[in-house]
Chain A
């Protein structure tokens, strides 16, 4: 089976825009094609999706009716990651040599307002005011802080770091730095999490061109190799969004299995990672996902974050483009944004936020109703 390389990347700036989500996706697609120096007609397969901005495959009317197979992917917060895994597998299977993975979105302002029935829940769950993702994140980090001694100062420092990284990213939505006090004194949305600890639903698009590794040099002088891409759903006993009950017999998050699978498939250990992008739906999520993915032990985050180890220039820079906190959350695009940033860093093209000597990157997304997708990328 052929190895897989990423040979072109494209992004539409995240934030709020006049254009439709689909147009933002097409913009990213054209940028990725240009980056790989290929034509749309050279792309043999495409996988893409959005949660709220329409069927990705209708984009062919903007890019050209070449007749290529284009499969829509819908997998919640792992939509982008799932498109990437599908593209990866298409190349591995020998179905195509050049494949596009694309994700884009455009959400209304304010918190998500999901339909209970779409998550297998009874109507009363939403009626009674329990159907909010923000509550889940508040309760998960509350419990984690109680168990492992994480402080609110550390939660705030995650946001401060991600806003700082976002201020160095022209494609980020939030580019203003913020102090720890400003984060802590912002309105409390879901205790212990304040407004500036949460990401907001937003807009944006990302496209990636993947190719057989042995052909990669035809497209770019600096291919980045996608060593693994692994998706997992939740095991029994995990703690997820929209659970009316939990088992006292506690189990792991799906992030644990997805990360373990991704490291094993890549033949890389967490200690080999130069930088990581982990799902920071809010600052507590970044803290917990660090340990769930094996990047540190439970409780170790307190010292790491207080010491600045996860900042650019630290031992293990995390969310170097500002993460969801600075970029917002266009669901279909977030997972691919993480890969976009990783490729940029591994190619040495990240400008003022460049991590020195970056050779190996890790990405992680997590979402409802308990899914996680992880990748390992190398130079």
Chain B
């Protein structure tokens, strides 16, 4: 197995059986942002506390990235021929914040606004050093629950 590396430190809790995204909560305004930030975009308050975001939420919007992104800024090194489209979405977590994320699904037929989603951590690319890069993504709850029976893509339909 190749070496694994996190896309960034401090974006989500890891290693963990139940990883969570790390945001900032601004008590004065009630605003929650992701990732962490020093100032509230609504009030400019600099009184912030770290907050672990809910692992489950509902799909707010989505798309499928259908062509290989340019590297840089993308870290992936696969050729255009080997590129697999990937889902991208916004997931509403409680009533706190809507976060942008890769999705584990890439078939439009499997994606509906309002469906329940759960956060996972998975390898998404091989970087220039040949390492597997890990990031957070959201998977449909049903698929995440039966993860042992599914491929890592979890594309049950």
**In the complex the two chains form, what is the Cα distance from A113 to B42 in whole Å?**
29
Instruction: Establish whether residues A236 and B42, one from each chain, have CB atoms under 8 Å apart when the complex forms.
Output: yes
CB <8 Å contact, B31 and A247: yes
Q: A126 to B33, Cβ gap below 8 A?
A: no
A170 CB-CB contact with B under 8 Å: no
Q: How far is the CA of A146 from the CA of B67 in the complex (A)?
A: 24
Choose, from A42-50, A74-82, A114-122, A338-346, the stretch at the interface. Answer: A114-122
In the assembled complex, A111 has its CB within 8 A of some CB on chain B: yes
When distances are taken between beta carbons in the complex, the residues of chain A under 8 Å from B92 are 248
Please encode chain A, from 212 to 237, with 1 for each CB lying within 8 Å of some chain B CB and 0 for all others. 00000000000000000000000010
Minimum CB distance partner of B70 in chain A:
A113
> B135 contacts the other chain (Cβ, under 8 Å)?
yes
Bound form: Cα–Cα A187–B72 in Å: 23
Contacts of B33 in A (CB 8 A): 245
Q: Which residues from 189 to 241 on chain A have a C-beta closer than 8 Å to any C-beta of chain B?
A: 189-193, 236
| B7 lies within 8 A of A127 (CB) | yes
Interface members, chain B 111-157 (any A CB < 8 Å): 113, 124-125, 133, 135
A292 to chain B, nearest CB (A): 17
Contact B8 A142, beta carbon cutoff 8 Å = no
B133 to A: closest C-beta gap in Å: 7
Given contacts A126-B74, A129-B74, contact A142 B67 (CB under 8 A): no
In the assembled complex, the Cα of A143 lies from the Cα of B11 at a distance in Å of 26
Bound form: Cα–Cα A358–B61 in Å: 39
Chain B residue at minimum C-beta to C-beta distance from A244: B100
Kindly provide the distance from the CB of A250 to the nearest chain B CB, expressed in whole angstroms. 9
The answer to whether A191 touches B73, judged by C-beta atoms less than 8 angstroms apart, is no
Contacts of A122 in B (CB 8 A): 8, 11, 35
Give the interface size class of chain B. 35 or more
Q: With a CB–CB cut-off of 8 A, which chain A residues contact B113?
A: 142-143, 146
Chain B nearest Cβ from A194, distance in angstroms:
9
Chain B residues closer than 8 Å to A190, beta-carbon distance: 63-66
Q: Collect the chain B residues with CB atoms within 8 Å of residue A166's CB.
A: none
Smallest CB gap from B40: residue in A: A236
Encode contact with A along B65-85: 1 for CB under 8 Å, 0 otherwise: 111011011111000000000
Give chain B interface residues in 47-103, CB to chain A under 8 Å: 60-67, 69-70, 72-76, 86, 88-90, 92, 95-100, 102
Q: Is the CB–CB distance between B73 and A244 below 8 Å? A: no
Please provide the chain A residues from 87 to 132 with a CB less than 8 Å away from any CB of chain B in the complex.
110-111, 113-116, 122-132
Q: Is A55 an interface residue, CB under 8 A from the partner?
A: no
Give, as a whole number of angstroms, the nearest-CB distance from B59 to chain A: 10
Q: How far is the CB of B1 from chain A (nearest CB, A)?
A: 21
Which residue on chain B has the smallest CB distance to residue A110? Answer: B70
Interface residues of A (CB under 8 A from B): 110-111, 113-116, 122-132, 134-135, 138-140, 142-143, 146, 187-193, 236, 243-248
Given A115-B72, A128-B135; 15 other pairs, CB 8 A cutoff: A111-B69, A122-B35, A128-B102, A128-B124, A129-B88, A131-B74, A142-B61, A188-B64, A188-B66, A191-B64, A191-B66, A191-B108, A245-B23, A246-B60, A247-B42
- Can you give 10 contacting A-B residue pairs, CB < 8 Å? A114-B73, A127-B7, A139-B63, A188-B64, A191-B64, A191-B108, A192-B63, A245-B97, A247-B42, A248-B98
CB-CB nearest 4 A-B residue pairs:
A126-B73, A138-B63, A124-B8, A143-B61
